[in-house]
Structure 1
Amino acid sequence: MSLPDYQSFMTPLLQCLANGKTVKLKEIEANVYQSLSLSAEQLKLRIPSGKQTYAYHRLGWAKTYLVQAGLIEQPKRAFCKITHKGLAAIQTGEQINNQYLNQYPEFLDFKTRTKDTNNSLDENTTSLVNSNSQKTPEELIEAAVDTLNTNLSDEVLQAVLSASPTFFENLVVDLMLAMGYGGSRKDAGQATQYTQDGGIDGVIKEDKLGLEMIYLQAKRYTNKTVGRPDIQAFAGALDMHRAKKGVFITTSSFSKDALEYVGLIDKRIVLVDGKQLTELMLTHNLGVSTKQVFEVKALDSDYFIED
């Protein structure tokens, strides 16, 4: 079940502050959620970073926008209180959202404010607080990053498919090393001979001491789905090496039978398809480089505590 956007939190937040008391947001969040009839499942949803629930994240941004419009004030650190304008807004009976807040000069200033008042925001920046936006600025940033990473994943997969089979086998070993297995390529991982691999494309130590080995199989397919027979053959190759653990990586996908088969055998075989492969490559910076870094600052409340 989807969660209401942050603008939906504005009216119930003002209503919960209508008694005029100065309170912490945490003290009234449950009342706001109750007003919105949020379910237990909705309240468990967390933003990608995992640091906050989506509900509290959106409640916080609703408060931020109401503060910028002058409907809520923050008389002291971490506390908030409704203003006369906020009380008047409730009495209108209208739904409070970004469109409603556009009537306040303070909010319009917030939408267009820059360090250099002579330079206007470009269209993309302004959209972060656009009246029609249903996501918070942080959610919009995360969505943009997801889009960029999805496009990059497609580019990475195409590059892998364009490479030679030998390159792909070495890439698989490099990926395992990047994930922390075995230490260095010299003493931990190796790709087997291309023509005489016996169903094994790579071997890597599970740890730096090499107490156990992990055997790798790499299939660079474009359209072919890896089926159960391929996994059975890999399991047989593991038997030849008296191995119990293996990783089968492909640029395509696995059939339902293949996925079910690995759950039936006593060996531990992990299947990694093309989508997971590119995600792991991006996560561990294999075949990609950082183009640009953006920092999102937050208030350091501890700094402002006076002895």
Structure 2
Amino acid sequence: MAKKNSQAEFVKWFGPLLDALRELGDSGKPREVSNKIAETLNLSDEVLDETLKSGGNKFHNQVAWARQYLVWEGLLDSSKHGTWKLTDKGKESTLTEHEARDVFLKWVDFHRKAREEKGRSQVIKDQEGNTPEEYEKESSPELLEVLQKLSPSGFEKVCRELLREHGFENVVVTGASHDGGIDGYGTLEINPFVSFKVLFQCKRYKGTVSRAQVGDFRNAMIGRAEKGIILTTGTFSNDSIKEANRDGAPQIELVDGQKLIEMFEKVELGVSPRTVYEVNLHYFKSFMD
């Protein structure tokens, strides 16, 4: 089995995730839950900003995996509608670190039996490096990887198309001029009487956008627009999120890799929906004992 300190770090979030959902009224959006855990445990920016090799945020991915195991255990609802919710069993449950590890090992062994060609350590490794959704469809091409392979100008242009599909008008990419960090602009109409100009910046890479980069973008947009958007295939540091929402300064919307994928899927831009049947592992478990 893999070493405890190098594999399956997400087990430590099992109990805090249950506690966070109870504090949120038994349900919450994924980021709300992660933020509540971070707030309650006073997690450092170093933990919150760590990234995976794929460029995704490691902490949020670990919390997502903790949620997946709790779904398999019947403590969380399996709904795919973007809200995590405690089941009746989950409302009454708490997990110590020891109990969490027992739950984890039970389901790792179950998946190992379902994938007999893989040992326990390989199953854990596969999970650690992917999101729960990626693990279930590991043979599918990843949209984020495709976006990261585009040229910088190509990514700017596809972001232009994405904004158009989401209701923006007169969207223009400024091209090679890189006007003070501004990659483009567009108009968003709120209603027939109100519309405003929005500036946007596109960052096609696997890294983390820093607070300084958000500040530089805001400085470039002051006096030119009331709203700004930064779209990246990477992630945003905890400090950059605080900077984007700083009181008294123009607000900046942050779109990270995960949200970017959701935006593409919502309007089916460059992606095609497919119907699949997901195996309900909880149902079959009793027949494998």
Could you state the TM-score of these two structures normalised by the residue count of structure 2?
A: 0.47
TM-score by length of structure 1 reads 0.45
Q: Which has the higher contact order (CA 8 A, sep 6+)?
A: 2
